[in-house]
Amino acid sequence: APEGSVGMLWRPMLVHRLDKETEGLQVVAKTKAAMVDLQRQFANRLVGKRYLALVEGNIAGEEGEIDYPIEGRESVSRWRVLARSRSASVRSTHLTTLELRPKQGRTHQLRIHCTEGLKAPMIGDNRHSGSLLRGEKLFLAAAGIRLTHPITGAELAVDIPEPERFGEMRALEDAAWLVDKPAEGEGVPCWEQEPGWEQPPPAE
């Protein structure tokens, strides 16, 4: 909105929130009318949200849906695999990069769904058993949003690239795995070479 427009807010106001540890896109309103309409869209789940996450493990399949209630309330998220890589730091020796699309906006919905639904906690999610790699914070980013422009009514889509640190972490972990893996055979973590390490019994 041009400066001086009717209903102009004294400063741009955030329309929605992200978890404290999540980075990426947020929507702000500059006028009261825009604020009211955008909040209505979020409240009525008319806004499409796309997130990127780096999780532990080699996720089976390429895409799917997680239906896992949170505090007794319906919570559904779609997921799609974007990349798989190796890691010398997590026990599974794998990392998976996911695209996540929540249908609701429950507190920590995507973090809980990855941990409980996929059994693959996000890297840096120390609240839900995620590994802390190289002192980095949570690997979760709001990377895309779809909504209706509150003034023109046009469909508005905004996307940003994956944060650079995601690719940097994958490259570092993959390089470390290549250095630490034994000369013969693959998929054997570096800790299996340590004295006293024993193969865990198979799951029953």
Q: Annotated catalytic sites, by residue? A: 19
Alpha-carbon distance of 161 to 198, in angstroms, equals 42
Alpha-carbon distance of 155 to 81, in angstroms, equals 27
Alpha-carbon distance of 195 to 135, in angstroms, equals 27
